[in-house]
Amino acid sequence: MDKNVLNKMLRPKSVAVIGASATPGKIGYTVIKNLQDGGYKGKIYPINNNTPEILGLKAYVNVTDVPGEVDSAIITVPAKYMSEVTEECGKKGVKGLIVITSGFSEVGRKDLEDEMLAIAARYRMRILGPNIVGSLSNSDKFNGSFAPGLPLPGKASLVTQSGALLIAMDMATYTKHVGFDKLISIGNMSDVDFADLIEWFDEDEDTTCVSLYIEGLKKGRKFIDAARNSSKPIIALKSGVSSHGAAAAASHTGSLAGAAKVYTSAFKQAGVIQASDLNNLFDRTLALSQQPSMKGENLLILTNGGGVGVLATDAAEKYGIPLKFAPPDVQEELKKHMPDFGSAKNPVDMTGMAGNDWYYQTTLYSFAHKWTDGLVVLYCETAMTNPQEIAESIKKAIDESGIKNKPVTVSFVGGAKSDAAMAWLVEHGIPAYGAPDIAVNAMASLREYALLQAHKNNDVVKSDPKARKTALEIITKARADGRDSLTEIEAKGVFTAYGLPVTHTELAKTEDEAVAIGKKIGFPLVIKIVSPDILHKSDAGGVKVNIKDEAGIRDAYKTILANAKAYKADANIHGVAIQEMAPWGTETILGSVNDPSFGPTLMFGLGGIFVEVLKDVTFRVAPISLVQAEEMIDEIKSAAILAGVRGEKPRDRKVLAQTIFAYSSLVHDLEDEIKESDANPVLVYEEGAGLKVADARIILNKK
């Protein structure tokens, strides 16, 4: 990504508006007016084919007629003229096009979009949009959009896929007192995408936090890489969380991998904080843009009211930063600034008698104390206090502490005076909110950011060319048979190539062969139908377990074949799989889906009812590192079962993590081939005893 090109596009020294208009109410008029009203200091060149002057500016018939350089062009002509206009911009040497125009891929005219992109590529121009509101930058006083005006200035910047949301948030910045430096609408994301802008913002000195509104990513992997490399906090609100594609899934994993879960995992992997809704996006953005991360787990809450203190305490637990009592020395000191009936534990309740001085003293002492990793200051408006003075006392204490590497958030609960005092605090770099739980939630986002940074580790693309070759041989053979799924034996062959310990399994085509193989493997045995037409073997009566002797093999062989024929008369039956019956261990499931946004994505969870009923599973976009494999094990709600409960010994975590890691290489290596897969159950034994994959399923991409 060429950062200079994006600089010219989004922070231009000169801008042409192609399709500028002298008619009020038209978008081409509004953009010129917005540029003027916003106080843009660069050159504005209206381009219009029938008007000589627009809003006091000389208009040109063609961008190529403009005498000076043109860094950026805002396009407001109908889509049908786009190719011609792009070509002209290319000839003029314009660096980037901000394409407000609609009528491209979003309405089925991908051809128009592709044509525009091809022309732009020839001239090395970048495209923002099409189908956008435009781009705004407070630090450049550049309102290159038809949004109502520049937002309240602030240190965060927003990138949104929805233009309507940009417009909605723009003016709300004033009522919510949450400022932004840049607002960028990316619409169809035909060229410049979230990842490009995350990289660009990393070097933008006016942005301290990047806020995203995401409907869907096209290149998920690129997004993860850009976000992970960002040195600034990124917060995302993801909409459209219904489960896409899940209904049609053939594997267990496929049916569990809804868009929301995969996105949540990908965000975690990328170190991106999530917002739960639009208000939360504002609230968390404010904290992340103004405060450093919360590096330890000790949260201290100061209050003049018990009720708000309790609400904040509940919120602290809910959002993952539960309160601990302050150490005795801290309590001793704090007691000096409260009446006898106050409480110095945590929350520290100075009572309704707290005035400016107590707020100043307790804030200064608490914030400066090494025990405190984050401070939330609460205030309920009383008749004896003035909210503005309390705000100033808090600010004075924070400043005098000289501490820059720990966060503070504030909540004032009261009327108009409290609101004004909070606006003042925000203006002076202290995030303030109208409810105690919101101040705590904002603090929790700062803690989350610290944790995500600490766990940020690199993926390991561990390709295994030899294993891939073996796997491809198996897959090619299945495809040659006209199949898009592998049999269990074939799937186990692929797993074995990647070093996954599978139960010993061989194919028998006759009853006598079944007996011979069975005797060789040793009893007890499991016998299963092998047919590409029967994916759910148990449903077809195609599985017999715990077979202890030759008679059992003969009996199972006949019954399974008869059941299979009854289940599906025309099923293509390869024979039966004779396999060792692995001793029962803790049942887990490992699987993959090829997600439309992120590509191969792994799933891990406890098997049996845990996966069936509780859906206690976790996801990661492949490839992952061994550390991430361990995180997956720790992340499921039933992790304690693997760690050993009620006197049971812990399960073999090391081998399990290695197996998940190997699975990641498998699905990453075979991304073009595998649509979905399951290793289910994966039986995990006591520490040192490893695990066994007892069943395997691989569904291929259609080619």
Binding site for ligand ACO (CB under 6 A): 18-19, 21-23, 26-28, 47-51, 76-78, 81, 85, 100-103, 131-133, 163-164, 167
115 token code pair? 């044509």
- The residue (of 103 and 434) whose beta carbon lies closer to ligand ACO is 103
Q: Among the residues of 371-432, which ranges form H helices?
A: 387-401, 416-427
- The residue (of 27 and 259) whose beta carbon lies closer to ligand ACO is 27
State the minimum distance, in angstroms, from the CB of residue 118 to ligand ACO: 19
What residues form DSSP beta bridges with 210? 157, 234
Cα–Cα distance, 463 to 664 (Å, whole number): 10
State the minimum distance, in angstroms, from the CB of residue 104 to ligand ACO: 9
- The residue (of 79 and 257) whose beta carbon lies closer to ligand ACO is 79
Asked if 682 and 692 touch (Cβ cutoff 8 Å), the reply is yes
State the minimum distance, in angstroms, from the CB of residue 680 to ligand ACO: 44
Q: Which of 90, 117, 99, 98 is nearest to 11 (CA)?
A: 98
- The residue (of 47 and 593) whose beta carbon lies closer to ligand ACO is 47
State the minimum distance, in angstroms, from the CB of residue 237 to ligand ACO: 17
681 preceded by a cis bond (ω within 30 of 0): yes
- The residue (of 87 and 513) whose beta carbon lies closer to ligand ACO is 87
Residue type, 547: I
State the minimum distance, in angstroms, from the CB of residue 16 to ligand ACO: 10
State the minimum distance, in angstroms, from the CB of residue 246 to ligand ACO: 29
State the minimum distance, in angstroms, from the CB of residue 409 to ligand ACO: 33
- The residue (of 88 and 587) whose beta carbon lies closer to ligand ACO is 88
Cα–Cα distance, 188 to 110 (Å, whole number): 10
- The residue (of 23 and 242) whose beta carbon lies closer to ligand ACO is 23
Cα–Cα distance, 183 to 167 (Å, whole number): 9
- Tell me the CA distances in angstroms from 569 to 30, 250, 564, one per residue in order: 69, 21, 7
What sign for the dihedral angle of Cα 591, 596, 600, 601?
Answer: negative
- The residue (of 77 and 573) whose beta carbon lies closer to ligand ACO is 77
Tokens 């609100």 sit on residue: 237
Cα–Cα distance, 179 to 138 (Å, whole number): 10
Asked if 95 and 126 touch (Cβ cutoff 8 Å), the reply is yes
> What region, left, alpha or beta, does residue 429 occupy, with left being phi > 0 and alpha being psi -120 to 50 degrees?
left
State the minimum distance, in angstroms, from the CB of residue 204 to ligand ACO: 23
Q: What is the CA radius of gyration of the chain?
A: 31
State the minimum distance, in angstroms, from the CB of residue 164 to ligand ACO: 4
- The residue (of 51 and 463) whose beta carbon lies closer to ligand ACO is 51
- The residue (of 47 and 316) whose beta carbon lies closer to ligand ACO is 47
Residue type, 430: I
Cα–Cα distance, 448 to 112 (Å, whole number): 43
Cα–Cα distance, 633 to 84 (Å, whole number): 56
Cα–Cα distance, 197 to 96 (Å, whole number): 14
Asked if 529 and 568 touch (Cβ cutoff 8 Å), the reply is no
- CB neighbours (10 Å) of residue 373? 21
- CB neighbours (10 Å) of residue 208? 19
State the minimum distance, in angstroms, from the CB of residue 257 to ligand ACO: 31
Cα–Cα distance, 427 to 390 (Å, whole number): 15
- The residue (of 164 and 609) whose beta carbon lies closer to ligand ACO is 164
Q: Quote the longest CA-to-CA distance of the chain.
A: 99
State the minimum distance, in angstroms, from the CB of residue 177 to ligand ACO: 24
Residue whose CB is nearest to ligand ACO in the complex, by number: 163
Order across the sheet with 234-238: list the strands.
142-145, 134-137, 180-185, 156-160, 209-214, 234-238, 273-274
Cα–Cα distance, 410 to 390 (Å, whole number): 11
What residues form DSSP beta bridges with 528? 543, 577
Packed helices 220-229 and 259-270: angle between N→C axes, nearest 10 degrees: 30
State the minimum distance, in angstroms, from the CB of residue 103 to ligand ACO: 6
- The residue (of 88 and 488) whose beta carbon lies closer to ligand ACO is 88
Backbone angles phi, psi at 418, to 5 degrees: -65, -40
The DSSP code sequence of 216-280 is --S-HHHHHHHHHH-SS-EEEEE---S--SGGG--SHHHHH--HHHHHHHHHHHHT-EE-SSHHH
Q: How many residues are given for the chain?
A: 703
- The residue (of 28 and 387) whose beta carbon lies closer to ligand ACO is 28
State the minimum distance, in angstroms, from the CB of residue 277 to ligand ACO: 20
State the minimum distance, in angstroms, from the CB of residue 122 to ligand ACO: 19
Cα–Cα distance, 16 to 77 (Å, whole number): 12
- The residue (of 44 and 497) whose beta carbon lies closer to ligand ACO is 44
Asked if 250 and 699 touch (Cβ cutoff 8 Å), the reply is yes
Q: Among the residues of 11-156, which ranges form H helices?
A: 27-38, 82-92, 110-122
State the minimum distance, in angstroms, from the CB of residue 111 to ligand ACO: 16
- The residue (of 105 and 274) whose beta carbon lies closer to ligand ACO is 105
State the minimum distance, in angstroms, from the CB of residue 160 to ligand ACO: 10
CA–chain centroid gap for 583, Å, is 39
- The residue (of 147 and 375) whose beta carbon lies closer to ligand ACO is 147
State the minimum distance, in angstroms, from the CB of residue 198 to ligand ACO: 21
- The residue (of 74 and 560) whose beta carbon lies closer to ligand ACO is 74
